[in-house]
Structure 1
Amino acid sequence: MASELMAQRHSMVHHALGTKIVLTVYGDQYFPILSKSMKLIDGYEDRLTVNRPVSEVMSVNQAAGKTPKLVSQSTYDLIKLAVHYSRENFGFNALIGPLVKLWKIGFSGANVPSDAAIKDRLRLIDPYQVLLDDENRTVYLEQSGMELDLGGIAKGYIADRLRDYWQSAGVPAGIIDLGGNLLFVGKSPRRPDGQWIIGVQDPQLKRGQNMETVRQSACSAVTSGIYERFLVKNGKRYHHLLDPRTGYPLETDLNSVTVFTDRSVLGEVEAKRLFFNEEPVAGWEEQPGNRGAVFIHNDEHIVNVNI
């Protein structure tokens, strides 16, 4: 059966969510699900993007300091989840948009802002100034200039919804690759034990060249790293992972953290939790849904947790 599925491997490539999407299913009868899945991704992007003037999230941002805005149930659920984790104050912050736009690292006009400008933006990224109304399904940002940006969690949420769709359709095996956010569905046809072989990127080399490989049953693999987007100014390197507690890039000797979790949205959050913690969190791997993690330091020293 596994060899038959291997011969029935189908992939489709699409550009969405600001990245290259690659979806793969095994089984000829499931090929049509790929185009339907791409449409689902586009639908989520239409609602969640902040890179276009019109979306549900943009309607919330444009009404900041003015009025609450009604959003769809899925958008509301994701915003509520993002705000919940933002309030844990470990580095993930869905309100960090004004600070990101100030630094512009990875974009045209990247610069090192003044201390005064950074302090001014810090007042706009407080997750406790987001009012959520479960009954009316509205979101209100209390200060003008505040912005929600779900880019740090949306890919994981969308990957999980695609997996739900594939499982309901009976897809026996597949890979959801949302620009490096990976979610493996079912049992791998490549191995008798059904485990997937997952590569961990070497931060010093081109994408696709791995430093470590991990074997796992169906799971999500998400990486937080500082090796792709950075600014060099006056001989100093500034990466794009801004610490919402200080307004500056996190001072760290880590290069990347890759986490393996049951749910991709959990992976998005936990990769950032471990990266900002800069070392393994005691008992982390014992928490429900957490499988393991790989820490890669700037000197290429590797620390594996439960791998």
Structure 2
Amino acid sequence: MKKVFKTLLLLVAAVLLLVGCKQQATPKPATLLDQPYSNTEYLMGTVVTIRVYDKGKESALDDAFKRISQLADEITVNEKGSEIDAVNAQAGVKPVKVTPSIYKLIEYAKYFSDNSDGAFDLAIGPITSLWHIGFPDARKPSQSEIDARLPLVNYKNVELNQADQTVYLKQKGMQLDLGGIAKGFITDEVVKVLKKDQVSTAIIDLGGNLYVLGHSPKHTNANWTVGIQDPKESRGVALGTVPAANKTIVTSGIYERYLKVGNKTYMHLMNPKTGYPFDNNLMGVSIITDKSVDGDALSTATFDKGLKDGLAYIEKRPHTEAIFITKDYKVYTTSGLKDTFKLVKGTKYKLATLQ
């Protein structure tokens, strides 16, 4: 296992303070621990923490981190040996055979590109690589540079062949960028590994992609209480809470990665229609659903759609809820959270409804 980044433990502790439990009278099962087995590593440019509460299941942490490292190597763009980089290198030339896991990831990304009418676009790579927000060489490109690359962003030109497990980008210069969905996919794969190792209770946190497996270890059948990130604060500061069990909570917001040019701040999520970062009244979106890969894609797609259309989009999806935070410090939730989402005491945010 890679060396644990102990210096990051204080940050991780802050994040995990957001996850508590709703008190009930039923005592906890004897097989669960008060102090979980835990490991924290810095992977894929983010802090990754896994906590396992099942007694005798410490080895599941090794299995989980091995799976994360394997997938990160296959997915990361411009990484030696990366399958995504190989697909991009053959754009307009030939299809590229990929592993079953990567094919499944790209298949998910293509589905959400279709489902969201391009609000989420897996072929956004020519634009994200131009801005490169979150990296030392980040810059605001010229309009002519953006105009030259925008025609390359078209999810409809990504051709999948399930029988051969190949991916083909039809136009030279096209690039896949799965950063908007990869952490969710990997989170779901970690859940599979833990379940295979017969882990019943755990917290998986891949840099904001949170999954709470099972129920709180404090009391049988008690929900975890999960904090919703304040998009104006550093990671680990909550503006509200929701109860959850066997659910993922995925948050996208302006706090994550951004580029400041003069008095203008540009977030890292890119609008595939304009070639610029999304710029509307939304400051953050949190998705609560069953699969983290869904939450990742939906949090990006709803930024494109904005508050009104984003709410309507999520309301149509089964087993999915959302919290929208606007720049005027108002919080809007989908109907399923009306009675369960709670603002933290003393917050500057206010609950609101669309008129």
What are the equivalent positions in structure 2 for 1:48-63 lying under 5 Å apart? Answer: 48-63=75-90
Residue 313 of structure 2 corresponds to residue 287 of structure 1? no
Aligned to 2:203: 175
Q: Paired residue for 2:237, among 209, 216, 221?
A: 209
Counterpart contact for 2:270–2:277, Cα < 8 Å: yes
Aligned to 1:100: 128
Aligned pair in 2 of structure 1 residues 232, 15: CA closer, same or farther (>3 Å)?
A: closer
Aligned to 2:349: none
Structure 1 residue 157 displacement after superposition: 1.1
Which residue identity is paired with 1:267?
Answer: G
Counterpart contact for 1:99–1:122, Cα < 8 Å: yes
SS in 1 for 2:62: helix
Aligned to 1:72: 99
Counterpart contact for 1:183–1:220, Cα < 8 Å: yes
Structure 1 residue 147 displacement after superposition: 1.1
Question: Aligned partners of 1:240 and 1:8: how far apart in 2?
Answer: 36
What are the equivalent positions in structure 2 for 1:229-240 lying under 5 Å apart? Answer: 229-240=257-268
Question: Aligned partners of 2:187 and 2:138: how far apart in 1?
Answer: 30
Counterpart contact for 1:90–1:276, Cα < 8 Å: no
Structure 1 residue 193 displacement after superposition: 3.7
Aligned to 2:138: 110
Counterpart contact for 1:85–1:92, Cα < 8 Å: yes
Structure 1 residue 286 displacement after superposition: 5.2
Question: Aligned partners of 2:126 and 2:118: how far apart in 1?
Answer: 18
Which residue identity is paired with 1:123?
Answer: P
What are the equivalent positions in structure 2 for 1:253-264 lying under 5 Å apart? Answer: 253-264=281-292
Q: Paired residue for 1:268, among 267, 287, 296?
A: 296
Instruction: Provide Cα deviations, 1:182-218, integer angstroms capped at 9, x if missing partner.
Output: 0111111134442011101112222211111111222
Structure 1 residue 35 displacement after superposition: 0.8
Select between 213-222 and 112-121 the one with higher mean Cα deviation: 112-121
Question: Aligned partners of 1:49 and 1:229: how far apart in 2?
Answer: 17
Instruction: Provide Cα deviations, 1:148-202, integer angstroms capped at 9, x if missing partner.
Output: 1211111111111221222232212001111110011111113444201110111
Counterpart contact for 1:8–1:27, Cα < 8 Å: no
Counterpart contact for 1:8–1:28, Cα < 8 Å: no
Residue 31 of structure 2 corresponds to residue 2 of structure 1? no
Which residue identity is paired with 1:84?
Answer: Y
Gaps of 5+ in 2: 1-26, 338-355
Select between 24-33 and 87-96 the one with higher mean Cα deviation: 87-96
Residue 275 of structure 2 corresponds to residue 247 of structure 1? yes
Aligned pair in 2 of structure 1 residues 47, 226: CA closer, same or farther (>3 Å)?
A: same
Question: Aligned partners of 1:154 and 1:234: how far apart in 2?
Answer: 31
SS in 1 for 2:60: helix
Runs of 4 or more above 3 Å deviation: none
Gaps of 5+ in 1: none
TM-score between the two structures when normalised by the length of structure 2: 0.81
Residue 60 of structure 2 corresponds to residue 33 of structure 1? yes
Which residue identity is paired with 1:24?
Answer: R
Structure 1 residue 234 displacement after superposition: 3.5
Question: Aligned partners of 2:46 and 2:202: how far apart in 1?
Answer: 19
Aligned residues: 306
Structure 1 residue 90 displacement after superposition: 4.3
Question: Aligned partners of 1:180 and 1:100: how far apart in 2?
Answer: 20
Q: Paired residue for 1:190, among 210, 213, 218?
A: 218
Aligned pair in 2 of structure 1 residues 283, 275: CA closer, same or farther (>3 Å)?
A: closer
Question: Aligned partners of 1:103 and 1:154: how far apart in 2?
Answer: 19
Residue 338 of structure 2 corresponds to residue 304 of structure 1? no
Residue 188 of structure 2 corresponds to residue 160 of structure 1? yes
Aligned pair in 2 of structure 1 residues 295, 281: CA closer, same or farther (>3 Å)?
A: closer
SS in 2 for 1:166: helix
Q: Percent identity between the aligned chains?
A: 39
Counterpart contact for 2:249–2:289, Cα < 8 Å: yes
RMSD of aligned alpha carbons: 1.8
Aligned pair in 2 of structure 1 residues 59, 90: CA closer, same or farther (>3 Å)?
A: closer
Question: Aligned partners of 1:110 and 1:46: how far apart in 2?
Answer: 23
SS in 2 for 1:163: helix
SS in 2 for 1:123: helix
Structure 1 residue 132 displacement after superposition: 1.2
TM-score between the two structures when normalised by the length of structure 1: 0.93
Select between 188-197 and 30-39 the one with higher mean Cα deviation: 188-197
